[in-house]
Amino acid sequence: MAQWRCGRYAPASLRRSHDSYFGSATPKFEPSAGKGAVACATLYFLLRYPGEISHSEFEESRLRTLLNWHENEPPTKYEKHRNMAIFEKQGNRNPLIDFPDWADRIEWRLGLG
């Protein structure tokens, strides 16, 4: 799945496998569950490691998809607990789990190389 990009699909363009969606014309993948966690983790990597992903690798539509997923599936109690456990071990945490609304305030394009 690593080569498949996250995306949204119109029903006519979908193939279904284990309740997840794959684009039939383009190499994209839309999970049926866990979209919020995927979005939060991906956005965190963009925030934590600025300049590591180029504009050409990360289209505006992908960013909008992730922001929509993040907004529509807020962090769960499990994710908040995991974030605290990671902080206790590593000393860093995902601020988008602690403050989900920050995602709308960040200029994400500035972090792309």
Q: What CA–CA distance (Å, rounded) separates 27 from 84?
A: 35
Q: What CA–CA distance (Å, rounded) separates 67 from 64?
A: 5
Cα 14 from chain centroid? 20
Is 113 inside any structural domain? no
In this structure, are 9 and 45 located in the same domain? no
Q: What CA–CA distance (Å, rounded) separates 69 from 10?
A: 16
Asked whether the beta carbons of 5 and 29 are under 8 A apart, the reply is yes
In this structure, are 90 and 103 located in the same domain? yes
Q: What's the predicted TM-score (pTM) here? A: 0.74
In this structure, are 12 and 38 located in the same domain? no
Buried b (16+ CB within 10 A) or exposed e, 3-22: eebbbebeeeeeeeeeebbb
Q: How confident is the model at residue 53 (pLDDT cuts 50, 70, 90)?
A: confident
Is 60 exceeded by the pLDDT of residue 63? yes
Only one residue has tokens 């956005």, namely 43
Is 75 inside any structural domain? yes
Residue 33, amino acid: A
What tokens appear for 27 in the block? 């190499």
2 is in which domain, residue-wise? 1-33
Is 26 inside any structural domain? yes
Q: What is the pLDDT of residues 69-104, one digit of tens each?
A: 999 999 999 999 999 999 999 999 999 999 999 999
Is 76 inside any structural domain? yes
In this structure, are 42 and 63 located in the same domain? yes
In this structure, are 50 and 29 located in the same domain? no
pLDDT at 33: 86
In this structure, are 91 and 60 located in the same domain? yes
